[in-house]
Structure 1
Amino acid sequence: MQTDQQKIKPEDRETVARIAAKLKELRAAPGIESLEQCNVAVRQQEVKRENVLPELTVVGNSWISLMAYQAKGYAYIAP
């Protein structure tokens, strides 16, 4: 998710705004410590890190981050 409106198709901007609002709401919810965005995806989509939503923490690789959380005892529930 990025904030640069120039990079978002006009027909997608309303949907992106709704998703961004939901992420902001989720980030503020009790028990949510952080929301992470994979830097691999950021690079592949050519998004500048400064344009990633402020509610998201960019991590080097989300798979490695996920494994680290699992090693700490967290469980991954597949959608």
Structure 2
Amino acid sequence: MKMLLTSLLGFSLLLPTAALADKPSDERAIAGLENGRILWDITIGDPERLIARLSVIEETYDDMVRQGLEPEMMFAFRGGAAGMIAASTDHLELEDVSAVRHIHERLEDLLAREGVHMEACSIATRRFDLTQDDLLPGIQLVGNTFLSIMGYESQGYATIRID
């Protein structure tokens, strides 16, 4: 029985790798590119939905690396998402605290990756009475993420809305 469990565990660890090896490429779309520039315009205010979207964002980063692109990802938090990037969860409904803490862990993992930068809109954070000191470490408060979006798009970033 112990040998069977060990074999199953070993096989299960190989599944994600095997799935990635069989994943199709995006060679036609990314032909000639060296960098993958994406600005994630994050307005989603539902913690569970944001967790699901962060999984896709992480997979997108990994897909870039797998296909030889250097990821350059900007995150612009505004709207309801601004309330989920405060280091403290004291302002949240009790049923959202666990999910938001999970979001914090995911954002911390993303920030540790090369080429990832995060910004928060001061207009949106005012709604939650948040200052730079209240935000998760690594997230920079900016005046207006609409200007960020405009600026980064002019620098070649593709904006993908997460709402």
- Common fold by TM > 0.5: yes
Kindly indicate whether the alpha-carbon contact (under 8 Å) linking 2:87 and 2:135 is maintained by their aligned counterparts in 1.
yes
Residues 23 and 55 of structure 1 are in contact (CA less than 8 Å); yes or no, is this contact kept in structure 2?
A: no
RMSD value, Cα: 1.5
State the partner residue of 2:90. 6
Give the whole-Å Cα distance in 1 for the aligned partners of 2:159 and 2:119: 14
TM-score by length of 1: 0.83
Match of 1:53 among 124, 136, 140: 136
Structure 1 residue 8: deviation in Å? 2.3
In structure 2, how many angstroms separate the alpha carbons of the residues matched to 1:42 and 1:75? 24
Higher alpha-carbon Rg: 2
User: Which 4+ runs in 1 deviate beyond 4 A?
Assistant: none
Unaligned runs of 5+ residues in structure 1 are: none
Aligned residue pair count: 78
1: CA distance, partners of 2:112 / 2:143? 23
Shift of 1:29: 1.5
Gaps of 5+ in 2: 1-84
Q: Quick one: which amino acid aligns to residue 134 of structure 2? A: N
Deviation at 1:43, TM superposition (A): 0.4
How far apart are the structure 2 equivalents of 1:28 and 1:47? 23
Structure holding more strand per residue: 2
Normalized against structure 2, the TM-score is what?
0.44
Mark the CA change 1:62 to 1:14 in structure 2 (over 3 Å): closer, same or farther: same
Deviation at 1:12, TM superposition (A): 1.5
